[in-house]
Amino acid sequence: MLRSAYFRAGFERDPHPGQARFYETPDEYLRNLEGLASTYAKVENVTVGAAPHSIRAVPLNNIREIAEFARSHGAMPLHMHISEQVAENAACIAEYGTTPIALVADNGILSPRTTLIHAIHLTNAEFVAVAAAGATICSCPTTERNLGDGVFPADTAARLGIPVAFGTDSQAQIDILEDARQIEYHLRLEQQQRGILDGVSHPDWVSRESIGNTLYRAASRNGYAALGLAGGSLMPGEPADFVTVDLNDLSILGVDAASLAAQTVFAVSKTAVRDVAVQGKLVLEDGRHAEGEEIRARYRAVQRRYQDYSQNHVKTGEPQ
């Protein structure tokens, strides 16, 4: 459970009325974060973390307060968006005289509990600082492509042994395996080469494993670690979180056991996934969700409300 902090509309910008539902005062945020942690303190396999959205949304002095709160309350995970776009770096330099990564590094905010979302536009020295701190980077390739943010230099992160996990960030597309394969494919397009991450020699990324196996680990175990949870390996004592795949699905037909993980990353389509278990409970069984019809009905209702809203604002000439 990551509680987001959002205090302003951007670098040196006051809160915007259109974002009013996001805002809390800094004191309200810390009280609500503490309340969330208290509520879930004894719930198995649930952690609570702090998520100051970004340096543009949370001023530095408040990020420092949140980071200290997280440290002093059971070493909570700390997640934040950073260096997603070139313009973000430029605006941070204008306000603080330095880049976002340098700012958090110089203020003691980077640590093994820190997960940096996106972290695309970093210098080599900044990647070295992230690696030295033991922080994780959460890449969101499908969203970053959708928004035109840029290509995450996963090969640089890999060479330095920086753990990489995957997130969605938006709901334009939600497919963790698509994110895993695109982290390699984006590099191929950019560098006009193949098998780029296969060429990385850092033992935390690729030792005797194929890049497919390594990316599968990034799509599973690394995400648990970023959230302060043990899991992703189906070891005794870990949550029984797993999926089953139809080996007769055309996207993976004929695969052998040795290459199953790699083929899962690079070939499996959503249609091949038959069951999804969370802590031993099937939430998707034989391709069907127990509450699928209700979910679809509610989603259709949301879509209709949005369409009606859009049409009314277009007719009146009001901004959407």
Catalytic residue among 169, 179, 186, 241: 169
Beta carbons within 8 Å of 274's beta carbon, 6+ residues apart:
243, 244, 245, 246, 284, 285, 286, 287
Q: CA-to-CA distance for 41 and 180, rounded, in angstroms?
A: 32
Structure tokens at 204: 């935390």
Q: Which strand ranges, in their side-by-side order, compose the sheet holding 2-5?
A: 2-5, 49-52, 78-82, 114-118, 136-139, 164-166
Q: CA-to-CA distance for 220 and 284, rounded, in angstroms?
A: 18
The string over 269-308, giving b where at least 16 C-beta atoms fall within 10 Å of a residue's C-beta and e elsewhere, is: eeebbebbbeeeeeebeeeeeeeeeeeeeeeeeeeeeeee
Catalytic residue among 53, 81, 118, 121: 118
Going from the C-alpha of 169 to that of each of 105, 154, 175, 260, 305, the distances in angstroms are: 23, 18, 12, 28, 23
> Is-catalytic flag, 118?
yes
> Is-catalytic flag, 169?
yes
- Active-site residues: which are they? 118, 169
